[in-house]
Structure 1
Amino acid sequence: MESIKRVNIVRIKGDEAKEEEDVVIKEYPFTIFINDEEVITLLCSPGSLKELMVGFLYSEGFLTSLQDIDRISIDEDKGLGYIYLKNINQFSEKLRGKRTITSGCGKGTLFYNVLDSFKSKKIEKPLAVEVERIKELIREFNKKSELFLNTGGVHSCALCSKDDIILFEEDIGRHNALDKIFGKALLEGVETKDKIILTSGRISSEILIKSAKRQVPVIVSRSAPTSLSVDLAEELGITLIGFARGQKMNIYTNFPSLIF
């Protein structure tokens, strides 16, 4: 399914008005069912829907491994995703209906209990990475964002080794883009414990927690972190970097893991 829609606009430049065609990003309601029971509707970009569904449910604790999944089906025309699980996590069952409005794009709805996030295991082995290499990865990351370059309406996210970008996704929501990354990593058997997350969006506590649950040791953003994400990163041993643009970046936590 195409992620953009063509629209007619009037473009103003100075005193000149010109009618022309432009493109906007599609906003797509995607409803997820677990074992035929409706769980949530995500507003997203209509791409990598299987990865988004798996990543979201993985992040929220509805499944803990690929082995929990019996089968998956997607109806793109109707915006419906069906996943059948062998065993539904009892903790997740208790959270049904207890939805938390967050600072996510469009007031995103998340299920996890914030107190549970503090049980995330501390990073045991920090990732030693050169600052110059992070700058190079950010430059590569910026070039890959075709939907953003065409529409200006999406966030980007990538999972990287110290050498290369391994997985890349875009979505109207920064949470969705990250869930797509983690869903794809789970489906393709890509380890996350020795990787770097790159994101275009603000690093809020939700983004930090999603990454911490996957034991990602380094998170880098073109944008800003929040105070709670800095506190959590410090507690969990995560290297947190914001405002990574060009030759500049701010390192907020766990400086010793970086090579200057």
Structure 2
Amino acid sequence: MPLDWHVERKIGQNNFWRDEGRDVSAPYLPYRCVELTEDGNNEIDVDVIVEKEFHLSLNDVPLASFFATPREFKELAVGFLLCEGFIDHAIDVISVEVEDDKLICHADICPDRIKKTRRDIDPDSRFDFCSCAIGSRPCRKKIGSEPELEFDRKVFFKAIEHLKSDAKTWRRTGGTHSVIVCDSEGDILAFCEDVSRASAVDKAVGKAALAGVDLSNCAIVATGRLSVTMVSKAINAGVSVLASKAGPINEGIDLARAVGLTLVGFVRPPHMYVYNGIERII
């Protein structure tokens, strides 16, 4: 096996940001930089993605601080609560209010559940909440041992192509992760981009859940690596399959195998690697 087996080679790679039209409503800002080329140096303006630190609370209890792209706030909040196991359904959420850097959520759940699910968060931390987790993350659900769904592998190849074609902010800035929620027929039910791969999952899951999608019949397809954080979020969201064009991390594989989640990495047509749950892939 060649040492670079996992590398996706591209010949004549395009400068996507030069070709992608600028969206004045998108969360990026122009910055001046110096472009170094074989023909010399040029000062140019390029668009840079914006991130902002948010502090999320549930029923007046502080839960987490994390960085995210400042848009799709309700989707982010609802998706976070689902993917971290604080709620089971989007309808559990009564309200989401945005006050500057605060996401203030109220939900119809038992107070004891917040205490049981909550993790100790350093309020002064300036790191992504999800990426700071150490060791196995708690999951409230276990995927059934007998697969109820089967996904044609072409569904994942199609989803990866959608990630490329729909990721306009990434093409303009090169600074985002993208996530799709799709069903076993290959229909794209939600798409989101964010500076954080974890927040991109939260937003896509939140968008699908708010639209009334039954996530148990869906897969999550992402661009980011398959860490224990990503696997935990997929399990708590209730999907049976998590796939990515990137590779996995050992704890992500171990958690997927422990709960029965189908885990697929390096989805790059015509190949993919299935680390668990091959019975769901046809």
Instruction: Give TM-score, length-normalised by structure 1.
Output: 0.86
Find the partner of 2:168 among 124, 143, 146. 146
Shift in Å, 1:192: 0.7
Deviations along 1:50-86, one digit per CA (max 9) or x if unpaired, are: 11111112222333333433322223xx222222234
Contact 2:179/2:201, CA 8 A, preserved across alignment: yes
Q: Which moved more, 1:204-213 or 1:27-36?
A: 27-36
Q: Structure 1: which 5+ residue stretches go unaligned? A: none
Specify the code of the residue in structure 1 equivalent to 2:142: K
Find the partner of 1:227 among 241, 247, 250. 250
Q: Does residue 1:120 correspond to 2:141, yes or no?
A: yes
Distance between the aligned counterparts of 1:144 and 1:67, measured in 2? 28
Q: Show the counterpart of 1:165.
A: 188
Q: Show the counterpart of 2:9.
A: none
The structure where strand makes up a greater share of residues is 1
Shift in Å, 1:107: 6.5
Distance between the aligned counterparts of 1:211 and 1:232, measured in 2? 11
CA RMSD of aligned residues (A): 2.5
Shift in Å, 1:230: 1.6
Contact 2:190/2:205, CA 8 A, preserved across alignment: no
Secondary structure of the 2:138 match is helix
Over 3 Å counting, the alpha-carbon distance change for 1:90 and 1:114 in structure 2 is farther
Q: Show the counterpart of 2:107.
A: 85
Q: Which moved more, 1:85-94 or 1:150-159?
A: 85-94
Shift in Å, 1:48: 0.8
1:66-85 residue pairs with structure 2 within 5 A? 66-75=90-99, 78-85=100-107
Contact 1:96/1:111, CA 8 A, preserved across alignment: no
Secondary structure of the 2:67 match is strand
Percent sequence identity over aligned pairs? 27
Over 3 Å counting, the alpha-carbon distance change for 1:57 and 1:256 in structure 2 is closer
Following superposition, which runs of at least 4 residues in structure 1 exceed 3 angstroms of deviation? Answer: 35-39, 86-89, 94-97, 105-116
Q: Show the counterpart of 1:65.
A: 89
Q: Does residue 1:129 correspond to 2:119, yes or no?
A: no
Shift in Å, 1:110: 6.7
Distance between the aligned counterparts of 2:45 and 2:137, measured in 1? 48
Shift in Å, 1:106: 4.8
Q: Which moved more, 1:187-196 or 1:122-131?
A: 122-131
Q: Show the counterpart of 1:16.
A: 40
Over 3 Å counting, the alpha-carbon distance change for 1:194 and 1:85 in structure 2 is closer
Over 3 Å counting, the alpha-carbon distance change for 1:112 and 1:32 in structure 2 is farther
Find the partner of 1:3 among 8, 27, 37. 27
Secondary structure of the 1:129 match is coil
Q: Structure 2: which 5+ residue stretches go unaligned? A: 1-24
Q: Show the counterpart of 1:47.
A: 71
How many pairs are equivalent? 252
Instruction: Give TM-score, length-normalised by structure 2.
Output: 0.80
Shift in Å, 1:147: 1.0
Find the partner of 1:216 among 228, 239, 248. 239
